Structure 1
Amino acid sequence: MAIKLVVKSRTGRDVLPDGILLPSNATVDELKARFAELKPRYYASRQRFTLPPRDGQRSGDLLVSGKKLSDYGLEDGSMLFFKDLGAQITYSTVFFWEYFGPLVVYPLFYFLPHLLYPGIKGHTSAERGTVQTLALGYWTFHYVKRLLETFYVHKFSHATMPVFNLFKNCAYYWGFAAFVAYFVNHPLFTSPPLAQAYWALAFSMACQFANFRCHIILANLRPAGTKGYVIPRGFLFDWITCPNYTAEILGWVGFTVATQTVAAAIFTLVGAAQMAQWALGKHARLRKTFDGLEGREKYPRRWIMLPPFF
């Protein structure tokens, strides 16, 4: 038995004037595959289908891959709304380029001061101070770690993102790499006490390993092929919803103390502000999902990101 669905844009325009014909037991993935056959420009990861909004809703429920159309009560003649998500690119590709950039940009200021600080003559990379060398080492370790995690640890809940994010993310990471590197590696850089730098960067390295441990826990939350949210537990997750962000931020706080530069402090604050937004969203989503009603588990009381303040 087959059903024909009406597909409209959010403005009410018919996307498929003749509708789309599918088996009555078809899944959302089959819907996307068939739509891509009829409209080759819109490959599956570019498609977003929602139900018509109910009273009081701004938009209808999202059709999730893996579910059957019948799970949403769709039958012959039912209507769906289609949105083009735009050209897509894989998460791993975006992460590679946004992390690869800082690995290239930052060392340029360390190794090529005669080119990047033309107003100051006679200064070479051989004259770099110990703190500047340690800062380069920490910076390099951090982004190499991020690259390795991208390909060997992280499990992405979505395969792709809009291609515009590649340029936006690269601008952020590459731009801040140049901004921080310019001041930390400046020939007129005033080094803080070595003991301060040693202890601060040792603390930062401990945060890096804590961050890595959090990522391993997150990667192992769900067996391959399963979906849905799971309450993270163990290590710092027993007290904090997003301890991976906590460790990341504190690591950059240590870097800021070690280099004693305003540029590093600004980079840390901007990153912390963005992570705070993500943490709020994740915390709210987990509390909503695990509300303790109808047999569902109740999400435990935890700090969101930075105890005891947040």
Structure 2
Amino acid sequence: MQINIVSRTENSQKFPLTINIPVDATVDQLKQAIYKVVPKYYPDRQRLTINQSVLQEGKLLKDYDIKEGDSISFKDLGPQISWRTVFLIEYFGPILVHPLVYYFKSQIYGEEFEHSKMQTIAYYMIMAHFIKREIETLFVHRFSHSTMPFFNVFKNSFHYHALSGINLAYWVYGPWNAAGKHGSEREEWLIWTCLGVFAWAQISNLYSHIILRNLRPPGTRVRRIPYGYGFNLVSCPNYLFETLAWLSVSILTKSFAAWLFLVVGSTQMFLWAVKKHKSYRKEFKDYPKNRTAMFPFIA
């Protein structure tokens, strides 16, 4: 059958296009057909819609009641970059910044001093978090979308490179928190409690990511209802556990920079959780009604 592809950009020189495609073709096949005609627009760069519905990869055209001669709207999403690459770039910033600030303190602060126990433990906690995130990106995560717009990498990286990288490292490892300084020491019970909560939250976060990974077979975009540890209470326990991990860092360091990163990060994760929660409930009619989005019994 013939399908008309109409660009949302006025006066486009590449469109409209007429694509010949089998009646039982998938959205993926249609995107490949467009790509063959206009090589600039590889499949990940295309957004196709009909009657305000976005055509999802893996589905058949007939799922959208597309027939001979119908017109499909095309939007260029711009140059793309893989989600995996973006995550690796985001988390590499703090991994680079924190050792530089921690070990080259005399060059950065202009004086030599000894780090307090709090600073040392906070350093290893923060480094463990971001190294774990890099490992998860490489070996655990399976992404529902393979790419994002290239320029988003700068916006996404700012959150990590600036807030949890430069800003956090500078204020936590400074001479005002050095050994022997008033207010730099923490009671042993507080240190070990924060460290224990942090370790538990990180392990729980990893386990929730593994549960999500196992829901999606390799190379697919399959979505299923997650069950098990944490998921029986909330839709996004991974966000909850990450929030608790950073809460422990904030309590340990008593740094406004840590609290700022916690507030900004947890707010964003809560917004994502609400969106995913609504998506789950819309997609799955049997989705458990007792679950909340991110915080058990609250929201």
> Structure 1 length normalisation: TM-score?
0.89
| 1:265 counterpart (246, 259, 262) | 259
Contact 1:204 1:252 in 2 (8 A): yes
> Which residue of 163, 175, 186 corresponds with 1:193?
186
| 125, 141, 156: which one aligns with 1:169 | 156
Indicate conservation of the 8 Å contact 1:290/1:299, yes or no. no
Residue identity opposite 1:303 in structure 2: T
- 1:42 equivalent in structure 2: 41
Q: Measure how far apart 1:192 and its partner are.
A: 3.9
For residues 162-207 of structure 1, the C-alpha deviation after alignment (integer angstroms, 9 at most, x for no partner) is 1112111111101011111111101112424241122212211111
Assess, with a 3 A threshold, how the Cα gap between structure 1 residues 96 and 103 changes in structure 2: closer, same or farther: same
Partner AA of 1:148 in structure 2: I
Correspondence for 1:74: 66
Alpha-carbon distance, 1:12 to partner: 6.2
The 1-side partners of 2:34 and 2:17 are apart by: 12
Q: Which residue of 2 aligns with 1:106?
A: 98
1:304 aligns with 2:293: yes
Amino acid at match of 1:43: Y
Task: Tell me whether 1:222 sits opposite 2:192 in the alignment.
Answer: no
Range with bigger deviation, 200-209 or 220-229? 220-229
What residue in structure 2 maps to residue 203 of structure 1?
A: 197
Pairwise CA RMSD:
1.7
Q: Which residue of 1 aligns with 2:22?
A: 23
Residue pairs, 1:125-140, within 5 angstroms: 127-140=114-127
For these two proteins, the number of residue pairs brought into alignment is 291
**Aligned to 1:19, what secondary structure does the other structure show?**
strand
Give the Cα separation in 2 of the matches to 1:45 and 1:87: 9
Unpaired segments of 5 or more residues in structure 1? 54-59, 292-296
The answer for the alignment partner of 1:95 in structure 2 is 87
Name the structure 2 match of 1:245.
239
What's the offset of the Cα at 1:11?
Answer: 5.1
Alpha-carbon distance in structure 2 between the residues aligned to 1:169 and 1:240: 25
Counterpart secondary structure, 1:307? coil
User: How many angstroms apart in 1 are the aligned matches of 2:25 and 2:268?
Assistant: 39
How many Å separate the matches in 1 of 2:16 and 2:220? 36
CA-CA distance at 1:85 after TM superposition: 0.8
3-state DSSP of counterpart to 2:63: helix
Contact 1:98 1:174 (8 Å CA) reproduced: yes
Percent identical across equivalent pairs? 40
Question: Which residue identity lines up with residue 280 of structure 1 in the other structure?
Answer: V
Q: Deviations over 1:79-101 (max 9, x none)?
A: 00001111100111001010111
Deviations 1:42-77 (A, max 9, x none): 1110001111x2xxxxxx111121222233222221
Paired AA for residue 201 in structure 1: L
CA deviations on 1:275-298 (whole Å, 9 max, x unpaired) are 01000001111111223xxxxx24
Matches of 1:298 and 1:262 in 2, distance apart?
A: 39
Matched residues in 1 for 2:243 and 2:185: separation?
21
Asked whether the 8 Å contact 2:142–2:218 carries over to 1, the reply is no
CA distance in 2, matches of 1:258, 1:247: 17
Q: Does 1:289 align with 2:278?
A: no
Any unmatched runs of 5+ in structure 2? Answer: 178-182
The residue aligned with 2:32 is: 33
Following superposition, the deviation at residue 303 of structure 1 comes to 2.4
> Matches of 2:30 and 2:287 in 1, distance apart?
35
Kindly indicate whether the alpha-carbon contact (under 8 Å) linking 1:88 and 1:163 is maintained by their aligned counterparts in 2. yes
State the shift of 1:6 in Å: 1.3
C-alpha distance in structure 2 between counterparts of 1:97 and 1:161, whole Å: 14
The residue aligned with 2:8 is: 10
Whether the 8 Å CA contact 1:32–1:47 is kept in 2: the answer is: yes
What's the secondary structure of 1:220's corresponding residue? helix
Opposite residue 184 of structure 1, the aligned amino acid is V
Q: Measure the CA separation in 2 of the matches of 1:309 and 1:69.
A: 40
1:146 aligns with 2:133: yes
What amino acid maps onto 1:9 in structure 2?
A: S
Q: TM-score, normalised by structure 2?
A: 0.92
Conserved 8 A contact 1:192-1:260: no
